[in-house]
Amino acid sequence: VQLQASGGGLVQAGDSLRLSCAASGRTFSGYTVGWFRQAPGKEREFVAAVRWSGGYTYYADSVKGRFTISRDNSANTVNLQMNSLIPEDAADYYCAASRRVIMSAIKISQYYDYWGQGTQVTVSS
């Protein structure tokens, strides 16, 4: 499956952004789709994930209550609604997909086999 991430941009602290991850080649059915981010000089970190089957969602503590991950069956996309953005949210955001990741490993990037290109999010204070 090929992934295309979009929606990044420059916003002010407190603003919102919506990222989208579109799949081509096949549907997301049976996949877990996650969002990760990487800021300059930092390691890639888990942000959120959704299991396509059942719609179960998972979040990093740092974004819980501010970010919402959702799936759009008709459009075969996964969206990440980011509200109340803070400067610490600034990073390149990547979507990733996996058919083999288990719940205990859902935050581990190595368990995701397909990656989209990054989309940059900049948050000014």
pLDDT reported for residue 49: 98
pLDDT reported for residue 104: 94
pLDDT reported for residue 25: 85
Lowest mean pLDDT across 18-22, 53-57, 61-65, 80-84: 53-57
How deeply is 45 buried, as exposed, middle or buried, from its count of CB atoms within 10 A (0-12, 13-18, 19+)?
middle
Report the Cα 57 to chain-centroid distance in Å: 11
Mean pLDDT score across all residues of the chain:
96
pLDDT reported for residue 111: 97
30-76 residue pLDDT tens: 999 999 999 999 999 999 999 998 889 999 999 999 999 999 989 99
pLDDT range class, residue 77, cuts 50, 70, 90: very high
Report the candidate in 82, 47, 43 with the shortest Cα–Cα distance to residue 62. Answer: 47
Positive or negative, the Cα torsion across 71, 58, 96, 45?
positive
